[in-house]
Amino acid sequence: MIGDRRDAFLRLIGVKPVIMGVLNVTPDSFSDGGRFQSPGAALAQAKKLVADGADIIDVGAESTRPGSTPVPLEEEWRRLEPLLKPLLAEVAAPFSIDTTKAEIARRAIALGVAVINDVWGLQRDPAMADVAAETGAALVIMHNRETIDRDLDIQSDLWRFFDRSLELADRAGVLRARILLDPGVGFGKTRAQNLRALALIGRLRAAFDLPILIGVSRKRLMSEPSGGAGVDEELAGTLAANLAARARGASVFRVHDAAGHAAAFAVFEAIARAG
Name the residues annotated as catalytic: 219, 254
DSSP-derived secondary structure for 186-208: TSS--HHHHHHHHHTHHHHHHHH
For residues 195-208, b (16+ Cβ closer than 10 Å) or e, as one string?
bbbbebbeebbeeb
> 168 and 129 in contact (C-beta within 8 Å)?
yes
- Kind of pairing, strands 115-118 and 18-24? unpaired
Distance CA 110, CA 2 (A): 8
DSSP-derived secondary structure for 35-49: TT-SHHHHHHHHHHH
* 27: Cβ contacts below 8 Å, ≥ 6 apart: 33, 34, 37
97 pairs with which residues across the strands?
59, 116
Distance CA 30, CA 206 (A): 33
Residue whose C-alpha is closest to residue 190's, from 228, 222, 148: 148
